[in-house]
Structure 1
Amino acid sequence: MKAPDLLRLADNVVLARFETMKVYAALGAVRTLLDRGTVRPGQTLVDSSSGIYALALAMACHRYGLGCHIIASTTVDAAMRAQLEILGATVDQMPPSDSLRLDQERRVRRVRQLLAERGDLHWMRQYHDGIHYAGYQEFADLVDTALPGTPLTVVGAVGTGASTGGLVQPLRRRGRDIRLLGLQPFGSVTFGSEGFSDPEAIIAGIGSSIPFDNVRHDLYDTLHWVDFRHAMAGAVDLLRTHAVFAGLSTGAAHLVTAWEAARNPDRM
């Protein structure tokens, strides 16, 4: 479940296809907290999520005998919620909203309310705690072994910053020639686009309406701004051309990668 399949889409394009994204982040964080004694077996971990991190955290808690409570975005669907509950997590879901900012602010407010009411909870703070970088060392090892030597350009959604940052930092420490291209939706405050909006959809997980401490801005060499229609077109093309079914953030990454790969054929 944790390690991705590496699929070659073109001579210089490789897709890391995850069964469930963010397992590296959740497992690495939970293991580190247990090793440090910050949390103990039987304790309940709580966090806010638009879905993917929630599933990864629920699996990590299930594995290590911890409780899990998720403050879920309005974008979490019935199938995802069912998986969380079967794994033993309890779920608070926010009401429908057309605003990414309102959805995120409601979730954070609910987390703070729960922490005030219950002293046994540990807030995972996936948006702010650098502990979520730790697990991606394993992913970096996998990429380094599979794609040795070549100059490497990593394309990925910025989101909380942990997946892209957690991958490139260990590779750069090894002396690899690494460029990092981040994806952002219009309206995200992370790189100053809050003055713009994409009225067609919330692309959850790519950007943010609140500042994320986990985003290390200096790691990114270039940013691409992608709207809903282009992200959807990328997702459709990925399925049609390569039979890979994935969501909007992957569609956006596929579109940007094709654009970059055509202009930089010497890089992987």
Structure 2
Amino acid sequence: MTIHQSTVYPSVIEAVELPKVIHIGGNLYAAAFTLMKLLPARHIIDRAIAAGDITPGTPVIETSSGTFALGLALVCRQRGLPLTIVGDHSIDDDLRNRLEMLGAEVELVEDHGQPGGIQGARLARVEELRRARPESFVPRQYTNPENPAAYASVGRLVSRTLGTVDSLVGPVGSGGSTCGIASTLRADTPTLRLIGVDTHGSVIFKAPEGPRLLRGLGSSIVPGNVVHTAYDEVHWVGPGEVFHATRELYRRHGLFMGPTSGAAFLVASWWAERNRDSTVLAVLPDEGYRYQSTVYNDAWLRGQNVPVRPADGPRLVERPGEGDGSWSRLLWNRRSYDDVAGVSTDRQTQESST
């Protein structure tokens, strides 16, 4: 049999873990992933196997209610490792079915008002399970340095494809992708501007904690993998403008992606328009198939009572939390968390929970 293909991949993991670099228009490019969290999941598990921290049959336990869970499930299935995912009720039935079909055990927890919100509750349950199964391995996506280290391969791909990138725009959850890619690109371009995209209700950049309709963006804890001194600018975006941008990304460019990708596209488009001499790269984390009944469903959008419309642009603020729910931006200027926000005694990190 003759295979007319430049590369034959050993599995679907290697085939889809890296993004496609796509020219969106003008000076704006996108690193579009099928499933971005597959990359750090594979990297973390394989490094643990190489180090002897995982041996055949070692149970893997992790907290996730989204794509990191799916990435781990794919990797653990292929590596023959039992997996327990601790999540919450934002795991929809379709995602839970996919996880369980891959052999993962899914446990959902409730938010009972403990420190760190629902993510704090999930982390506390992971620690309980780890103590009960001391032979288990916990990837700890929020603090494991192998998470951002996994994205060095993305930085190298971008450099080979585009050459110099002046500005990187990406959503911030665990901090792995934006900090990891920026670190690699800055080895050649120290002046690269890193623009993090967060959402209202997330505490990552010291905005007040609150409910978050946007899933996969932001956090109710401050992950250890978020290197605050890496960011030049932070934008907080709301669901209405992000839902509109997500649908526009598909209408205008044929990129059928999730709302975290829409958030990055919204901010990167605005930035590229105002910095036309810069090469701007937006990180688009995952495809939109999980959101066909939500973000891409008109009836669901009407039921959210959120105006889905184009945004006028961000309001420049001096401190986190001043945006009043509207799209806002802060010149972070590579400062530390405490330099921007003041020393906080109630700062929540994963280290305090596990």
TM-score, with length taken from structure 2: 0.70
Residue from 224, 249, 253 that aligns with 2:260: 249
Residue from 161, 166, 169 that aligns with 1:152: 166
Deviating beyond 4 angstroms after TM superposition, the runs of 4 or more aligned structure 1 residues are 95-101
Change in Cα spacing, 1:105 to 1:122, as seen in structure 2 (3 Å) is same
1:238 aligns with 249
Output one character per residue of 1:141-183: Cα deviation in whole Å (capped at 9) or x when no partner. 11111101x3421111111110111111111113464211001
Change in Cα spacing, 1:102 to 1:248, as seen in structure 2 (3 Å) is same
Q: What count of residue pairs does the alignment treat as equivalent?
A: 264
In 2: Cα distance, 1:22 partner to 1:188 partner: 20
1:117 aligns with 132
Contact persistence 1:194–1:209 (CA under 8 A): no
Residue from 56, 59, 67 that aligns with 1:44: 59
1:172 aligns with 186
* Per-residue deviation, 1:101: 5.0
1:184 aligns with 198
Residue from 109, 120, 130 that aligns with 1:105: 120
Change in Cα spacing, 1:21 to 1:99, as seen in structure 2 (3 Å) is farther
In 1: Cα distance, 2:165 partner to 2:156 partner: 16
Gaps of 5+ in 2: 1-15, 280-354
Residue from 206, 210, 230 that aligns with 2:217: 206
* Per-residue deviation, 1:100: 11
SS in 2 for 1:146: helix
In 1: Cα distance, 2:261 partner to 2:33 partner: 11
Q: What is the identity, as a one-letter code, of the residue corresponding to 1:221? A: D
2:80 counterpart of 1:65? yes
In 2: Cα distance, 1:97 partner to 1:140 partner: 40
Residue from 1, 10, 17 that aligns with 1:2: 17
In 2: Cα distance, 1:239 partner to 1:47 partner: 32
Change in Cα spacing, 1:83 to 1:101, as seen in structure 2 (3 Å) is same
| Correspondences of 1:10-29 after superposition (within 5 Å) | 10-29=25-44
* Per-residue deviation, 1:89: 1.1
Identity %: 34
Q: What is the identity, as a one-letter code, of the residue corresponding to 1:229? A: G
Contact persistence 2:169–2:196 (CA under 8 A): yes
Q: What is the identity, as a one-letter code, of the residue corresponding to 2:258? A: G
2:42 counterpart of 1:31? no
In 1: Cα distance, 2:246 partner to 2:116 partner: 25
In 1: Cα distance, 2:112 partner to 2:24 partner: 36
In 1: Cα distance, 2:53 partner to 2:240 partner: 44
* Per-residue deviation, 1:106: 2.1
Q: What is the identity, as a one-letter code, of the residue corresponding to 1:143? A: V
In 2: Cα distance, 1:99 partner to 1:118 partner: 24
1:77 aligns with 92
* More divergent stretch after superposition (23-32 vs 258-267): 23-32
Contact persistence 1:151–1:176 (CA under 8 A): no
* Per-residue deviation, 1:140: 1.1
In 1: Cα distance, 2:170 partner to 2:115 partner: 20
In 1: Cα distance, 2:96 partner to 2:67 partner: 11
Output one character per residue of 1:100-126: Cα deviation in whole Å (capped at 9) or x when no partner. 953212211211221122222211111
In 1: Cα distance, 2:193 partner to 2:114 partner: 32
Higher normalized helix content (fraction of residues): 1
Contact persistence 1:51–1:73 (CA under 8 A): no
In 2: Cα distance, 1:99 partner to 1:18 partner: 34
Superposition CA RMSD, Å: 2.1
Q: What is the identity, as a one-letter code, of the residue corresponding to 2:183? A: Q
Contact persistence 1:161–1:215 (CA under 8 A): yes
In 1: Cα distance, 2:116 partner to 2:208 partner: 10
